Structure 1
């Protein structure tokens, strides 16, 4: 990340990264007032950061390494960005995901009814708020609810479970950070989840079209969950070609949103069955063309009496599955610790 080369304090770098300012170019077009609001600092401190960014930019140009075309990013910076992840609260599921749900990517999670799709969505909306002192992003979440399945009472339980886990952390007890403890209130976690109830596919399209502007005004948002992306597109369309075009445009906008603002997009999907060589297998809804809409595709399914998450498709992760459990505190490791990995 370019901000890592700036002559500023580590705390300031952390605030910049958490607010989505990872490149020098992202700082060149922002005002001191807006930067101060995004980082929750004074305008004087924001002005100092902008001066440091300007100085770093001049050094890069004089060194002859400045890209001729704006918007270029080297592979190392891309790799560093891909390491920013949101934990699922299940170490086994995080393991097969390479550490959790990745920012700058679109991840699709789907499965049959009752398998825990919404539980994952709510868990991630809570976990994205874990403070940086605990290895989190300290961000906020947008929850787009098309089915009316978001339950605020359940969100409160999961938030309380997250708080309990952090307060039981040995590092927290040793450091006794008051500033962090003030953030560990379940009601504050709920206050940082922006819930949008969507009642038709036209509302969903309008919502996605407006997200770019909305997130640009709320730069601390680090997660967008759509629960579910399937609901209206399975029942309101007779023209499948039109549906494919609309879904393709929607997927492209969500991918651009994730890249532009360095956030994670999670699409919850419903299950379907697919006939292959005379046998039926579990897949996700909306057809083969939609399977290319995400960077990672995770299918949730039952294996006996145990829930499992399986990486069905990914550009960087091997096919693998891991068991998980749904507890009163949210998503956690299964009581059975078995996990198998199969290389692609």
Structure 2
């Protein structure tokens, strides 16, 4: 039984009222309960600790987590991972072949460093068949800063240069990019649930969801939770949001690409004073972190800051009307 289709009500001893309390406290999935501590769960659901232990035990069995796998089994799982190319050779090399499915990749940088340009380009490339460097699928685009432009997609489609590939009309690409505007942080989190429903709907079709873009991840959280006093609440919600995105990537073998803003760190006297918003929560959840900065002559530099298996490095690219180019 796939944990994606499980409801909290499937757990023994969890009725509709308890389920609602759990969801309100942020326990929206069976997995989140399976990994909760009995004390936290008891408090959230207003049940005794022994009842909470039983619920957690049942959740672990249902969600099928907590067991060990051999390295060989993990290697087999890794064979399902696909790569989404940027078509800038140095950039793809930096990423070990492209953006990886089943993972969250984060690009952060100052205003105008090319974050949304990369998001648009990936939305185009994801539609291409796998043999041409794409993922042969649809894209879900959660737009929180009103940056998505269909005209930009049209320009990028016209600018595609893929050997042996007959580029279809740009409308065909737009047909498979599903855009939703996020108006608040809560709405943004809700859209991930809607994205899951859409991905389940399209799973067996010719173009399943293979790319989820959140542009930008932190804008609403940053605006709504200003000041030190609200930091822990913000980080908890961000953690929940990242967890949901990571699960979506895993369930649908999709790339999750999030853009992030930066803030200046006044304590830094040498080197670059900018650092991404969201702190360790975002840092740990994003498997690949790319820092973008502007360079001379309209060039952009992408620096791989963090990755589980790739060395740090840099790649230069330019943003032209036809998209990202070497």
TM-score for both structures, normalised by structure 1: 0.69
Query: Residues 38-82 of structure 1, C-alpha deviation per residue, up to 9 Å, x if partnerless?
Result: xxxxxxxxxxxxxxxxxxxxxxxxxxxxxxx99968122233123
Q: Would you say 1:208 and 2:185 are equivalent positions?
A: no
Alignment-derived partner of residue 235 in structure 1: 223
Q: Would you say 1:256 and 2:247 are equivalent positions?
A: yes
CA distance in 2, matches of 1:278, 1:70: 47
Query: Residues 120-173 of structure 1, C-alpha deviation per residue, up to 9 Å, x if partnerless?
Result: 0010000011123424321110111000011111111111222xx13xx2x45x
Question: Which secondary structure does the structure 2 equivalent of 1:74 belong to?
Answer: helix
Query: Residues 252-298 of structure 1, C-alpha deviation per residue, up to 9 Å, x if partnerless?
Result: 11111111110000001112223456445222112233211201100
Distance 1:75 1:308, change over 3 A: same
Equivalent in 253, 276, 283 of residue 275 of structure 2:
283
Alignment-derived partner of residue 111 in structure 2: 113
Alignment-derived partner of residue 317 in structure 2: 324
CA distance in 1, matches of 2:156, 2:194: 29
1:211 shift after superposition = 2.6
CA RMSD for the aligned pairs?
A: 2.4
In the alignment, is the contact (CA less than 8 A) between 1:87 and 1:99 conserved in 2? yes
Q: Would you say 1:296 and 2:288 are equivalent positions?
A: yes
CA distance in 2, matches of 1:128, 1:71: 33
Alignment-derived partner of residue 186 in structure 1: 170
TM-score for both structures, normalised by structure 2: 0.72
Alignment-derived partner of residue 199 in structure 1: 183
1:319 shift after superposition = 0.6
1:215 shift after superposition = 1.1
Identify unmatched segments of 5+ residues in structure 1: 1-24, 30-68, 173-180, 334-344
Question: Which secondary structure does the structure 2 equivalent of 1:81 belong to?
Answer: coil
In the alignment, is the contact (CA less than 8 A) between 1:308 and 1:322 conserved in 2? yes
CA distance in 2, matches of 1:250, 1:218: 22
Equivalent in 148, 151, 155 of residue 150 of structure 1:
148
Question: Which secondary structure does the structure 2 equivalent of 1:123 belong to?
Answer: helix
CA distance in 2, matches of 1:134, 1:100: 12
Q: Would you say 1:246 and 2:245 are equivalent positions?
A: no
Alignment of 1:61-100 (within 5 A): 74-82=73-81, 84-100=82-98
1:96 shift after superposition = 0.2
Query: Residues 224-252 of structure 1, C-alpha deviation per residue, up to 9 Å, x if partnerless?
Result: 00000111111111411100100011111
CA distance in 1, matches of 2:142, 2:210: 14
CA distance in 1, matches of 2:240, 2:130: 34
CA distance in 1, matches of 2:137, 2:68: 24
Alignment-derived partner of residue 311 in structure 1: 304
In the alignment, is the contact (CA less than 8 A) between 1:283 and 1:299 conserved in 2? no
